[in-house]
Amino acid sequence: MSRDGIDSLASTALLGTARATADLACAHTAGAVGFTDDDPALRLLSAAALEATFLAGATVPVPRPTGDVAPVDDRPVLPAAAAERLRGLLTVGSSLLDEWFAAAARFRAPHALVVDLLDKALVVGEQHRDAMVALAGPRGAWVAARNPRWAPLVVPAPSEDDVWLHGTAAPRRRWFEKLREHDPAAAVTRLTRTWSSENAATRQSLLEVLGRRTGGYDEALLETALDDRSSKVRETAVRLLRRLPESAFGRRMTQRVHDWARYDGATLTLTVPDPLDASAIRDGLGLRLGPALPTAAAHVVRSLAASAPMSAWCPPATTPDDVLAATVSDEFDTALRAGWNTAAAYHRNAEWAAALLRRDGTVGAHVAGSVPPDVLVTHLRAASGRTLLDADLLGALPAPWPLDVAQRVLTALYTAGAPKSRQFRALTELLAHRAPFELAELCADAATRTDDIDRLHRFSSAADTLTHRRILHEELS
């Protein structure tokens, strides 16, 4: 930007208007000077003020290169009715959001909805945040990268490791999660390189990320973590190694089962070394991971049962049902039961989970999720009373439930006590979210027939939810 105008005005001012005349034409503001006072001195001062102001606050247009355009998203556009429903569900924080996002996974958000999605994603929970960012798609990521307000939603690409090397804790974890999702083996390789320089809290936090897709590629780092200075890191490593029955950790635990357990017909006897050797302590058998048990030996047995591959407990020609039917001393019976439940959940062992269900008549939610759905359905069809209203078993049965099972659950709820209780509310909500849509009419009918106001409210609400779910899926079909 030229300063010739202000320099000419300054020279004239120094000489005085009686001896020199300013060349106003070279000033950027020459066009405005004509409206100033006719007095030469006042005109000079006005021109200088205008030019100085212009130079201080104005800029000359500079050509800029055109930025990258938003990437193409080939997914079909979300239907208008479904987009409006999403706005409503987000406004009230509906319990149907999970189901809506799952059903809408193949769609992309219309352009007009992208900004609203990004704004909402900043204030919702992590699970819905990720789903909303996915719905906004690559166009949403492109928009978010251009506004600092949406920076928390931008996940750096795994190939861009500046965040990993120099970022703060939260961005580094997001980067690591993204890499873990994209390439699990590469993620553990990167963590291994920086392991010794991370603090204990970060080591534990990033180990937890490995738990989402644990595989054999994690074994070496998890073995290193067994020797960590932090007890929390060691505990996390033990939990993750329990998910790798084919690992060296699993083989060590198998050997201990063979050394410590002995079958004598239908009796199972356990002999726990006292004290434990250094290897057993390193593998976490001295850690008390779970509710209190009466003896230290019982804690060791529970840890062993939770950590060993479940096949280690089955001698040749025996099944999980045979092992579970064995007689165990009172000291270790509860510990073995708890440990086997934990192992069945960690290994997602359907055979053992089904055997535990047959033995006990019920299992906790973490084991129920590993029971094959057909086994669950058969079990529920044969159940009655409280067993038919077992929230852990019903919660493990995916939607849609068989109509006859849903009808039996509704009938049991109609006659069950304590309609004001939290359990009753949870069961009616589960029914509303898992039952087939045809049950809506029966729920509405049950609401009109009951003379209990709380039961009426719960059944009516379930009927409304089933109707909304049906409409939701129709809009996304």
Q: Are residues 232 and 286 in the same domain?
A: no
Domain boundary residue, one of 222, 241, 260: 241
Cα(263)–Cα(315) distance, integer angstroms: 9
Cα(234)–Cα(342) distance, integer angstroms: 18
Evaluated on CA atoms 300, 306, 308, 310, the torsion sign reads positive
Cα(174)–Cα(209) distance, integer angstroms: 10
Q: How confident is the model at residue 280 (pLDDT cuts 50, 70, 90)?
A: very high
Q: Are residues 378 and 348 in the same domain?
A: no
Cα(346)–Cα(340) distance, integer angstroms: 10
- Mean confidence (pLDDT) of the chain: 88
pLDDT value of position 227: 94
Q: DSSP letter for 329, please.
A: -
Cα(155)–Cα(174) distance, integer angstroms: 6
Q: Are residues 51 and 105 in the same domain?
A: no
Q: How many domains does the chain have?
A: 5
In percent, the amount of the chain with pLDDT more than 70 equals 95
pLDDT at 369 over 70: yes
Which is it for strands 327-328 and 261-264: parallel, antiparallel or unpaired? unpaired
Q: Are residues 321 and 377 in the same domain?
A: no
Looking at residues 21-29, what average pLDDT do you find?
75
**What residues have CB less than 8 Å from 63, skipping those under 6 apart?**
none
Domain boundary residue, one of 325, 344, 365: 365
Q: Are residues 262 and 228 in the same domain?
A: no
Domain boundary residue, one of 211, 241, 271: 241
Among 97-101, 287-291, 299-303, the range scoring the smallest mean pLDDT is 287-291
Q: Say which amino acid occupies 123.
A: V
Q: Are residues 147 and 177 in the same domain?
A: no
Which residue would you say has higher pLDDT here, 388 or 81? 81
Task: Look at residue 376 and tell me if it is in a domain.
Answer: yes
Q: Are residues 346 and 377 in the same domain?
A: no
Q: Are residues 91 and 47 in the same domain?
A: no
Q: Are residues 253 and 355 in the same domain?
A: yes
Task: Look at residue 72 and tell me if it is in a domain.
Answer: no
pLDDT value of position 294: 67
Task: Look at residue 74 and tell me if it is in a domain.
Answer: no
Segment 163-221, tens digit of pLDDT = 888 888 888 888 898 889 888 999 999 999 999 999 999 999 999 999 888 999 999 99
pLDDT at 102 over 60: yes
Cα angle value 205/211/213 (rounded, 5°): 130
Task: Look at residue 231 and tell me if it is in a domain.
Answer: yes
Q: Are residues 257 and 361 in the same domain?
A: yes
Q: How confident is the model at residue 247 (pLDDT cuts 50, 70, 90)?
A: very high
Task: Look at residue 62 and tell me if it is in a domain.
Answer: no
pLDDT at 448 over 90: yes
| DSSP helix/strand/coil, 243 | coil
Task: Look at residue 104 and tell me if it is in a domain.
Answer: yes
Task: Look at residue 63 and tell me if it is in a domain.
Answer: no
Segment 394-444, tens digit of pLDDT = 999 999 999 999 999 999 999 888 888 888 999 999 999 999 999 999 999
Q: How confident is the model at residue 58 (pLDDT cuts 50, 70, 90)?
A: low
pLDDT value of position 1: 56
pLDDT at 61 over 70: no
Task: Look at residue 64 and tell me if it is in a domain.
Answer: no
Q: What is the pTM of this model?
A: 0.75
pLDDT at 59 over 70: no
Q: Are residues 376 and 296 in the same domain?
A: no
Range of the domain at 417: 372-475
Q: Are residues 172 and 220 in the same domain?
A: yes
